[in-house]
Amino acid sequence: MAGLMSIKSINDLAKEVLTIEANSILKLKDRIGENFDKAVEFLYNCKGRVIVTGMGKSGLIGKKIAATLSSTGTPSYFLHPAESTHGDSGIITRDDVIIAISNSGETQELLNLLPLIKRFGVLMIGMTGNMTSTLAKSSDVVLDIGVEKEACPLNKAPTASTTATLAMGDALAVCLLEKRGFSEEDFLIFHPSGALGKGFLYHVKDLMLDDINKLPIVHENDKFTDVIKVISEFKLGMAMIVNNSAKLTGVLTDGDIRRTLIKYPDTAYLTVKDVMTVNPKRISADEYAASALHLMEKYSITALAVVGSDDKPIGVIHIHDILKAGVA
């Protein structure tokens, strides 16, 4: 019994942590206003780089914010405030914008940077939980990332405060991404490796089966039993159904076949049009492979009909081909 109570207590504590941190983020919504707009404008108009700085846990969050900004089109760099007074501050130029992070707003290593920042006239965005702090008063614009309490039972370890800071940084990055018109092609440039990049490196036409002799295309008036044979022969788990104009009107999948066999005791007189999935999901050959994978995951399908501008089938892309290419 004691063991069960202990597990329940731990679970309750974990849920409480998540609730406190979630609420700390939600309360930031009420602080999005003029100051946030100014911060975005500062960053958008920055002719140099965005220099993010912070000590301890704030510094770790700052590194992530700098990385997110850089990967979404805003060149950024993390500057360790303690190292900055030993020569590293030489990276700062008058064209840069500083994001300084300190929950208390009184972190001494960070405050040591202020004379240099003021001397160069560099714009500074303060992110702090203390709006009357030295950092807040010294900043050109301040973003309030304060929380009512930390998720730590001792209310000491930075938990909710770092979560809120990270979320505010993400909000800045996403708004800048949108404002810059950052595209999928831009994203690929900054992520040439890994699944994210490969999803935008490959187009559907690069991975699809386009040999007309190997495509399971049948007419909507063909017999249902004959189409089953076609699906078995081509081994793609589906057939593309066309009308007299050779335009795609439906698909017949293994799932459709099972449902038909359950519903109809006698299938000898059925045409495929009677039981096919009408208006099936389809994709253009010029779309990204990532878009094809998204459709497959969203609608729980394993193959997509590829159509031309005239809506006539020109290929099939299968999830196995996408996964083999490393897009996942």
Question: At 247, phi and psi to the nearest 5?
Answer: -95, 145
Is 79 strand, coil or helix? strand
**What's the burial of 196, exposed, middle or buried (CB within 10 Å: 0-12/13-18/19+)?**
middle
Within this chain, do residues 63 and 170 fall inside the same structural domain, yes or no?
yes
Within this chain, do residues 176 and 300 fall inside the same structural domain, yes or no?
no
CATH number at residue 249: 3.10.580.10
CA dihedral sign of residues 145, 149, 152, 158: positive
The pTM of this model reads 0.59
Within this chain, do residues 126 and 208 fall inside the same structural domain, yes or no?
no
Q: Domain range holding 266?
A: 204-324
Task: Classify residue 256: in a domain, yes or no.
Answer: yes
Task: Classify residue 189: in a domain, yes or no.
Answer: no
CATH number at residue 161: 3.40.50.10490
Within this chain, do residues 131 and 65 fall inside the same structural domain, yes or no?
yes
pLDDT in tens, 94-111: 899 999 999 999 999 889
Picking from 182, 212, 229, the residue at the C-terminal end of a domain is: 182
CA distance 73 to 258: 49
Within this chain, do residues 169 and 296 fall inside the same structural domain, yes or no?
no
How many domains is the chain built from? 2
- Alpha carbon of residue 164 to chain centroid: 19
Within this chain, do residues 174 and 320 fall inside the same structural domain, yes or no?
no
Within this chain, do residues 221 and 113 fall inside the same structural domain, yes or no?
no
Look at residue 1 in the predicted model and tell me its pLDDT: 47
Within this chain, do residues 90 and 6 fall inside the same structural domain, yes or no?
yes
With tokens 């996964």, the residue in question is 323
Question: At 238, phi and psi to the nearest 5?
Answer: -165, 160
Strands (E), the chain: 50-54, 76-79, 97-101, 123-128, 141-144, 217-219, 238-242, 248-253, 277-278, 282-284, 303-307, 313-318
Within this chain, do residues 24 and 156 fall inside the same structural domain, yes or no?
yes
Within this chain, do residues 150 and 213 fall inside the same structural domain, yes or no?
no
Within this chain, do residues 61 and 162 fall inside the same structural domain, yes or no?
yes
CA dihedral sign of residues 91, 96, 101, 105: positive
Digits of tens for pLDDT over the chain (328 positions)? 455 556 668 888 899 999 999 999 999 999 999 999 999 999 999 999 999 999 999 999 999 999 999 888 888 989 888 776 554 566 788 899 999 999 999 999 889 888 888 888 899 999 999 999 999 999 999 999 999 989 888 877 889 999 999 999 999 999 998 888 766 655 655 555 555 555 667 889 999 999 988 999 999 999 999 999 999 999 899 999 999 999 999 999 999 999 999 999 999 999 999 999 999 999 999 998 888 888 898 888 999 999 999 999 999 999 988 888 877 6
